[in-house]
Each structure stands twice: as C-alpha cells, then as structure tokens.
Structure 1
C-alpha cells in the first residue's frame, strides 16, 4: 500500500471506531481486528502504519471527532508532513479543501478536566496516554518465580509478590508456563486490589462484578484451597470466559452465577449477610485505563457518567447486604474521577454508620479519601481508586 492509501484506510477505520463509540459498539481493538481481516491484502508494515495513524488520532483528541477524516486532518497542523498524503491520488484521501472542518481541542474533554482526583497533576495526566506496560502475575499454585524468571530472563520484579513486568511485545501464548496457568496477564493495580481483598483470609468470597474473572483468579491464587469464591456478573459472554481460565489455573474453588440485570438479589439471596468478603470492581468511566483504551473518552458523556455513578451506588448497597458482621467489602473502580471513587465512599459511610474504613498496608498506592489511589505516573499501574470497608 502507498502511504496515501494507508492514510485512507486509517480514515475508514476511524469512521468505524467513532460510530462504535457513539453507539456503544465494539472496542477499537476488536474493530481493528475485523478491519484487517477484511483487508488481507494489507501487509504487516501496512497494518502497523495504519494502526499508528489511527491511535495517534485517538490519543490526541479528547472530544469525539465527527469523522475519521476530521480526526486525521487535525493532526496535519501538528505533523505537516501528513498534508501531502491528502492528494486524491494513489487510492489516498481527497485533497484538503479550504475551510474544511478539522478536529481540535485538548486530550481530555473539557467537561471531564475538573473532575479528576486532586492528586492528579499535569505529569499524571500526561502519563494517562503513555503506552501501558505488560504486567504478569505468577500463580504460585502452578509454578514458582524462579521458573518464570528462567522462561523470561528479562522479566523485572515489581513491588508486589509474584508480579513482573515483561518487555512490550513479549509473546506469551506459545510458552508452556502460560498455557499451563502458571502466569496470568494482569496489571499490577488489579493485583493490588485482589491482595487487599485477600488480606483477612476470607473463607467465602463474592466477586460481584467478576467479568472475565481476572481478580477472581488472583484471589483464588492468594487464598487457601478450602476457601470458596463465587464469581457473579450480568454479562453471560464475559462470565463464560472464566471457565477455561479457571481450568487452566486449576482453580477448583471457583463457581459462577449469572445475574439478571436489576434483579441480582434474586440469585444472591442465599448469600445475605454470609460473605466474608464482597469485591465490587464496579463498571466505571475507565479513565484510569486510557493508555490501553483511549477511545473510552469518546464513549463517555455527562449523562453516561451520571448513569454509571447511579449504578455504582446501587452495587455498593447490594454488596453491603451480602457481607456478614465482621466481614469486608472492597469497592474498586479503574477510574481517577472523584465522582466514582472518594465521593462514593463518603456517601456510603455517611449513610451507613455500621461500616468503617480499614487501612490495608500495600507497597504501592497513596491514601486518598478513605481509600487508596493508584496511577500510571506514581505507581506504574493503571489508574484505580479502591477502598476496604468493614461491617461492624
């Protein structure tokens, strides 16, 4: 493909991504896979160049552009060498018309800029758009740190036990240790949240928003085999991904429950006031994961954020009813917005005097608003807020 044809392909892929962000469709990564599957003529160099153009535009614009063409035209002012690709020849995009609208603005949408936690300064904001590292967790029930270091001599030990960073682009799927469940890909921040939940050695655990089970599996690896972990979610597709993962990790103490949206208690009533730990990794804006999923900025609107915080409140109330006296609730969001983090903790504690904050001693994170804040710049993790609460 010519450079101009690559630019046109990037415009077309961005059009798909913009539409999906507007309509709550597939992720940018999944769209890219489908896009290239339909264009098998694009070689590896073509795919790499197109991806670079697409993700440069996604990372640059905080507000969702009207079209892929506008998104890339906005880059021309900052990268003048791109102008010559808009020539209308060689399967490239049409020439730039005088006065043609282009994308503009900051990396963070104006309406979100003042909603971040007070500890998030300019270096922190810049780090939100860095490339995410590759973190892995060693499953101590299936392997040892020494075996992992032998397989990946370049692995760098991180702040938490059994956690490592591997070089970007490391291939894991073809390694026996990965296939046998000895390691799991998991951001260090997610590992820290699981460690906070496991601190009191709970015997009965409910992972209320388990998704595909990343934190469920981490808890299983950290807790005794006789503990029982229930992974629950309303998304059948995501929940079904736990089964092969738990078999691979030999995690026999995990069971799953599919919940009905808005009717979760119908399936959880038997756990009322019974759980030693309820983990709520709540749906959120994903502001802490922009370095992995920068198009999330194009999906979130003030109305969607309002609906998300309302759902978070309902989930905390629901989870609190399932914790027994003396048990704990860990509430977490991969967000750095106060509305989803500290505000939620304050609201809950103010209306529930029978609960108190518990301090968890971890080697990463900063105390913040009755909880802990993790961020890319300070901790090298995705951005998270989490709190550990105890029922009196």
Structure 2
C-alpha cells in the first residue's frame, strides 16, 4: 500500500468505528482486525501503519466525528506530510476542499469533560487518559520458577508486577504459555492487593468477567481455601476455566448468575465470605488509554444505569460477608459518581454496621472513603478502590 492508500484505508476504518460507537457495535480493535481479514493483500507493515493512524486519529477527536474523513482532516491539519497525501491519486483520499471542516479536537465529549473536571480530573490529568498504555504483567506465584521472565521488563510498584513496552509480544513467550505470568495492569493488581486474600479463606469475586482478578486472588490464597467466581456474562466467564488451568488455580469455583437474581442464587454463601470483591460494571473512563473510542459510546443515561447497578451489587455483596469480613469495591472509572460518591452512598445506606478501612497502597491518592489511581499521577489505568469492614 502507498502512504496515501494507507490514509484512505484508515478513513474507511474510522467510518466503521464511528458507526459502531453510535450504535453500540464492535470495538475498534475488532473492526481493524476484521477489515484486514478481508484484505489479505495488506502486509504487516501496512497493518501496523494503518492501525496506528486509526488510533492516533481516535485519540485526537473529542466529540464523535461526523465521519472518518472529518476525523482524519483534524490530524492532517497539524501535519503537512499527511495533508499532502490527500492528492486524489489512485487509492488516495480526494484533495481537501476549502469548505471542509475537520472534526473537533479534545479529550472527550463536552459533557464528559465537565463530569471529569467536577471529579478532579482536568488539565494534564485529563490529557493523560489518552496516552498509550504500557504492557503490565503479574508473576503468578502458583507457577513461579517454571520459566524465565521475558527480557526488557522493569519492576512496578505491585509486589509481583513487571512492565514492558507497548506491543511486546508477551503471549508468544514460554513464561506466558506455562502460566508463570498473566497480563494485568498494575492498578488492577493493586486492587487485588487491597482485598488482602489469604490462604484458607472463603472469597467471592462477584463480577469476575474473564477472571483476571480471580487469578490474582487465587495466587494470593496460594491455592488454598474457597474462591467463587461469578458473573452474569456467559461469554466472558467461559474464558476463565482455560486461564485457571494454565495458571494452576485449581481452587476456583465458577457460577453463572442471572441478572437481578444474584442474591437468590448466592443464598448458600450468605454471611459466609471472608472477602467479597465487587469489580463492578462501570463507564471505563479509566481505561481510555486502551479503548479510546469508548468515550464516544458513553451517554449520561448509560452512566446513570451503571451507577444504579453498582449500588445494587454493593448491597448484594454486603449480605455475603461474614461479621468481621471485608467488602472491596473497585471500578475502572475516574468519575466520582462511580467511585467516591458511590462508596459514600453505600456507607450511608448500611449505617454503623460497616466502616471504611484506610488502604496503604504503594500508589494512588485518597478520594472520599477510598483511593483513586490515575494514568497521569500513577502511570496505571484509572481505578477507584475502597475496602469496607463488616463490624
């Protein structure tokens, strides 16, 4: 592909990404992969260049662009080399007309920029949400010593964490194949540290998803005790068994739940758990470094629904914790409505039978009853973490 053809390809992909964002379609990563599956003529260099161009453009646009061309014009406005490729030659984009208006730049749609600012995320903290994320791994102590760590990494503040440059082919390594390491952001690892899971305990990962945090809890428990992983998403939960087998996490029990029936289906655990981790569904504002088009998908009404679901899951989780046990609330959001505000609302509902515990994590800053980690301050994905104790 010529450089101009790569630009036109990126425009076509951006059209698909924008349509998907408006209609809750596939994520950008999958759209890019599917586009190239149908175009086998593109070499690996073409795929890398086009993908990079697509995601650079997504990160540059604040509001949802009108179309892919308008989005690319924003990037071209500050790059003469790129704008010169709009030359109308074969497979190239048409020349730029004087009346064409580029898409708007910015961190996010205006309503989200305001919500983030009200939650203390603005200026450099806001722009850092769109940086490229590094690749973090967690050494799995259940398999420690089976293989050497890949070269090129450096320690993180997480006890078993290492960081590698973006794009490191970590899943091609013997350490990954043999279950010695798992890909997991440092902030996510610290959220698991906040759970303080110990060998022999009874622990629930209430919103386990694909099981990344479940595996970290299993390692902290040294394979001893009971660890129940639950979720209402069958597809995501189905990814956990092969991951658990590779990691040697044999203590994990898996239970698929029905939405809004979690309490009934967990009645056998009522008042039994030493710890319940609620990694609740959320807006994902802390993960834009990995999914920059996600900021185009979120709406105020969707945010309200997330907040309602989080509150309901916290109330369900509270019934599962034994006296003296702990409830750990985590969201990968930087909005106070899903973080500090949600945690305080829980304390207000449950009254004097619960208390928020201080967290001595090696990263993050206090925010309400918990701690918040941000890409700009901590170099991790954005997280809010709180731990409550049942008295």
| Aligned position for 1:253 | 251
| Aligned position for 1:283 | 281
Q: State the shift of 1:201 in Å.
A: 5.9
The answer to whether the aligner puts 1:362 opposite 2:353 as a matched pair is no
8 Å contact from structure 2 (residues 107, 113) kept in 1: no
Following the alignment from structure 1 to structure 2, what is the Cα–Cα distance between the partners of residues 123 and 180? 40
The answer to whether the aligner puts 1:127 opposite 2:128 as a matched pair is yes
The answer to whether the aligner puts 1:371 opposite 2:373 as a matched pair is no
Q: State the shift of 1:314 in Å.
A: 1.3
| Aligned position for 2:387 | 388
Q: State the shift of 1:385 in Å.
A: 0.5
| Aligned position for 2:261 | 263
| Aligned position for 2:48 | 48
| Aligned position for 2:139 | 138
| Aligned position for 1:229 | 227
8 Å contact from structure 1 (residues 373, 384) kept in 2: yes
Cα pair distance change 1:158/1:140, threshold 3 Å: same
| Aligned position for 1:348 | 346
Following the alignment from structure 2 to structure 1, what is the Cα–Cα distance between the partners of residues 64 and 360? 40
Following the alignment from structure 1 to structure 2, what is the Cα–Cα distance between the partners of residues 168 and 48? 13
Following the alignment from structure 1 to structure 2, what is the Cα–Cα distance between the partners of residues 72 and 309? 35
Following the alignment from structure 1 to structure 2, what is the Cα–Cα distance between the partners of residues 297 and 118? 16
SS, match of residue 389 in structure 1: strand
Q: State the shift of 1:386 in Å.
A: 1.0
| Aligned position for 1:336 | 334
Could you tell me which of 196, 199, 202 is aligned with 1:198?
Answer: 196
| Aligned position for 2:35 | 35
Following the alignment from structure 2 to structure 1, what is the Cα–Cα distance between the partners of residues 70 and 54? 12
Cα pair distance change 1:208/1:285, threshold 3 Å: same
Q: State the shift of 1:25 in Å.
A: 1.7
Following the alignment from structure 1 to structure 2, what is the Cα–Cα distance between the partners of residues 363 and 202? 26
Following the alignment from structure 1 to structure 2, what is the Cα–Cα distance between the partners of residues 126 and 107? 6
Structure 1 range deviating more: 84-93 or 113-122: 113-122
Q: State the shift of 1:170 in Å.
A: 2.2
Q: Can you list the C-alpha shifts for 1:358-389, whole angstroms capped at 9, x where unaligned? A: 11222112111110111112211111001001
Could you tell me which of 319, 322, 327 is aligned with 1:321?
Answer: 319
Cα pair distance change 1:217/1:72, threshold 3 Å: same
8 Å contact from structure 2 (residues 119, 335) kept in 1: no
8 Å contact from structure 2 (residues 340, 367) kept in 1: yes
Following the alignment from structure 2 to structure 1, what is the Cα–Cα distance between the partners of residues 379 and 208? 24
Cα pair distance change 1:53/1:252, threshold 3 Å: same
Following the alignment from structure 2 to structure 1, what is the Cα–Cα distance between the partners of residues 104 and 166? 31
Following the alignment from structure 1 to structure 2, what is the Cα–Cα distance between the partners of residues 103 and 295? 14
Equivalences, count = 389
Following the alignment from structure 2 to structure 1, what is the Cα–Cα distance between the partners of residues 114 and 318? 30
Cα pair distance change 1:269/1:199, threshold 3 Å: closer
Please list every run of 5 or more consecutive structure 2 residues that lacks an aligned counterpart in the other structure.
none
Q: State the shift of 1:73 in Å.
A: 1.6
Please list every run of 5 or more consecutive structure 1 residues that lacks an aligned counterpart in the other structure.
none
Following the alignment from structure 1 to structure 2, what is the Cα–Cα distance between the partners of residues 64 and 167? 29
TM norm structure 1: 0.95
Following the alignment from structure 1 to structure 2, what is the Cα–Cα distance between the partners of residues 390 and 151? 37
The answer to whether the aligner puts 1:70 opposite 2:70 as a matched pair is yes
Q: State the shift of 1:202 in Å.
A: 7.0
8 Å contact from structure 2 (residues 140, 179) kept in 1: yes
